[in-house]
């Protein structure tokens, strides 16, 4: 499916979504409350069949956080990028680890590095950082560590 | 590209057997001292020399074979330096260069780094090839502690030397592996070319052949760094 066709299809599923076609992939901006419904549709719709989540990350824009999901269909070979703004003080979004298993570890990584809380995640705890790092999120732009960090 | 370092001569007879016996003979002729005393003199000269590459001793041919004159410490150091097995240890891109150095094109086996061992119990030298993060530091310390004496450490590249590109604004990187374990030889570069690693390995060999203990090697490298 081409990006234009994808856009038409996704608009049918979620009319509130907005689009940005600047790059190789179709960028879809959605409200974080719609994410669980939208993710289920992307995965299970017969013509879309996004069965491969190949990147899950987060961006700190200082004013807000943005979750970024890169999805691809191994059947149709089309891809899309789903983005969703989150409140920086209390970032929360539904977990999709039951839809794409790979999201389990990726969401734990975003949880420890950005402090995003994934609702209904089966095992929401630190992935790589040692114990005691809860609440300190090193990839936030305002992260400070006077012991280990030499500021430039 | 040229590998600048000289290959150490592994043959004990080559070079020494042709030049040195005549020297001994001269000493015997001129100073009227016994041959054993003279050869002892020459051997001590060779053994303490800073050239490093030559076999520390001399061979006297006799009809039934030959007599080797040397100091046992020098032979031990010579043997040690020519059989340094590295530990399989790489934490980032420097490890790619280290693998290249081990492979056919550069082939560190030519210099006695025969084969990398996957266990610290069988390794003589640990090449810190990559970034050491705070979480890795206790692992590195344990690996070093598990290695049998004599053991040597090479810090390969900017990360292992000082933290390198991660010196500023990082919460996770150890600013130099020498905060964790003592280092004998440092290599500059990000990452260093295989030639640079070979040069560091040969530099380590030269230090060992000088006949210094580990502690002396380390105090010397501290002086060099000042």
pTM greater than the 0.80 cutoff: no
Residue pairs between chains A and B whose CB atoms are closer than 8 Å: 21
Instruction: State percent of chain B over pLDDT 90.
Output: 46
Q: Closest approach of chain A CAs to the CA of B132, in angstroms?
A: 13
ipTM of the predicted structure?
Answer: 0.77
Q: Given this model, what pLDDT does residue B208 score?
A: 86
State mean pLDDT over B128-134: 93
Q: Please report where in the chains the tokens 């089966």 appear, as a residue.
A: A122
- Does residue B222 have a pLDDT over 90? no
Residue pLDDT, tens place only, A1-48: 888 889 999 999 999 999 988 888 999 999 999 999 999 999 999 999
Contacts of B168 in chain A (CB under 8 A): 150-152
Q: pLDDT-based confidence at B216, cuts 50/70/90?
A: low
> For A137, which residue in chain B has the nearest alpha carbon?
B171
> Tokens 């856009």 — which residue?
A7
- Among residues B2, B62, B20, the alpha carbon closest in space to that of B193 is found at B2
pLDDT tens-digit map of B178-209: 999 999 899 999 999 999 999 999 999 988 88
What are phi and psi for residue B212, nearest 5 degrees?
Answer: -85, 150
Name the 3-class secondary structure at A56. Answer: strand
Inter-chain contact B175–A143, Cβ cutoff 8 Å? Answer: no
pLDDT reported for residue B29: 41
Question: What is the C-alpha separation between A17 and A9, in angstroms, rounded?
Answer: 11
Mean pLDDT, residues B136-146 taken together: 94
- Mean pLDDT, rounded, for B155-168: 92
Q: Which chain B residue lies closest to A143 (C-alpha atoms)?
A: B171
What whole-number percentage of chain B has pLDDT above 70?
69
pLDDT at B217 over 50: yes
β-strand pairing of B57-62 with B65-70: antiparallel
- Beta strand extents in B5-156 (DSSP E only): 57-62, 65-70, 125-129, 152-156
pLDDT of residue B123: 94
**B220 has pLDDT over 80:** no
Among the partner residues A130, A148, A152, nearest to B171 by beta-carbon distance: A148
- For position A40, what pLDDT does the model report? 93
**How high is the pLDDT of residue B213?**
62
Q: How far is CA B167 from CA A144, B133, B182, in A?
A: 15, 11, 19
pLDDT above 70 for B103: yes
Among B120, B110, B102, B127, which Cα is nearest to B187's? Answer: B127
Report helix, strand and coil shares of chain A as percent, to nearest 5: 25, 25, 50
Closest approach of B89 to chain A, Cα-based (Å): 20
pLDDT of residue A1: 81
Average pLDDT over residues B71-83: 85
Kindly report, residue by residue over A85-129, the tens digit of the pLDDT.
999 999 999 999 999 999 999 999 999 999 999 999 999 999 999
Query: Which pair of structure tokens corresponds to residue B119?
Result: 């266990």
Task: Give the integer Cα–Cα distance in Å for A50 and A34.
Answer: 17
On the question of pLDDT at B1 being above 60, the answer is: no
Interface of B with A (CB under 8 A): 134-135, 167-172, 175
Return the pLDDT at B59: 84
């Amino acid at each position: 499916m081409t990006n234009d066709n994808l856009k038409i299809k996704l608009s049918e599923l979620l009319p509130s979504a907005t689009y940005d076609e600047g790059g190789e992939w179709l960028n879809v901006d959605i409200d974080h409350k719609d994410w669980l419904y939208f993710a289920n549709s992307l995965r299970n719709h017969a013509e879309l069949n996004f069965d491969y989540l190949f990147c899950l990350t987060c961006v700190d824009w200082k004013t807000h956080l943005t979750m970024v999901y890169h999805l691809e269909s191994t059947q149709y070979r089309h891809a899309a990028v789903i983005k969703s703004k989150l409140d920086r003080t209390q970032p929360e979004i539904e977990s999709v680890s039951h839809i794409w298993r790979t999201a389990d570890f990726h969401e734990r990584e975003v949880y420890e590095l950005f402090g995003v809380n994934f609702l209904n995640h089966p095992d929401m705890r630190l992935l790589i950082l040692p114990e005691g790092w809860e609440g300190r999120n090193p990839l936030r732009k305002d992260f400070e560590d006077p012991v280990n960090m030499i500021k430039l | 590209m040229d590998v600048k370092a000289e290959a150490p001569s592994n043959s004990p007879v080559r070079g020494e057997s042709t030049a040195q016996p005549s020297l001994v003979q001269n000493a015997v002729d001129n100073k009227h001292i016994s041959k054993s005393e003279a050869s002892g003199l020459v051997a001590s000269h060779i053994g303490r020399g800073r050239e490093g590459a030559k076999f520390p001793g001399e061979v006297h041919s006799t009809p039934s074979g030959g007599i080797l004159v040397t100091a046992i410490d020098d032979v031990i150091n010579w043997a040690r330096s020519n059989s340094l097995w590295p530990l399989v240890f790489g934490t980032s891109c420097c490890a790619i260069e280290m693998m290249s150095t081990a492979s056919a094109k550069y082939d560190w086996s030519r210099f006695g780094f025969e084969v990398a061992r996957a266990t610290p119990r069988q390794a003589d030298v640990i090449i810190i090839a990559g970034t050491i993060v705070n979480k890795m530091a206790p692992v590195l310390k344990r690996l070093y502690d598990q290695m049998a004496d004599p053991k040597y450490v090479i810090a390969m590249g900017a990360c292992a030397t000082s933290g390198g590109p991660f010196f500023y604004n990082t919460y996770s990187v150890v600013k130099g592996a020498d905060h964790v374990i003592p280092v004998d030889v440092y290599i500059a570069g990000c990452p260093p070319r295989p030639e640079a690693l070979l040069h560091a390995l040969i530099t380590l060999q030269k230090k060992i052949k000088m006949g210094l203990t580990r502690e002396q090697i380390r105090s010397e490298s501290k002086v060099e760094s000042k």
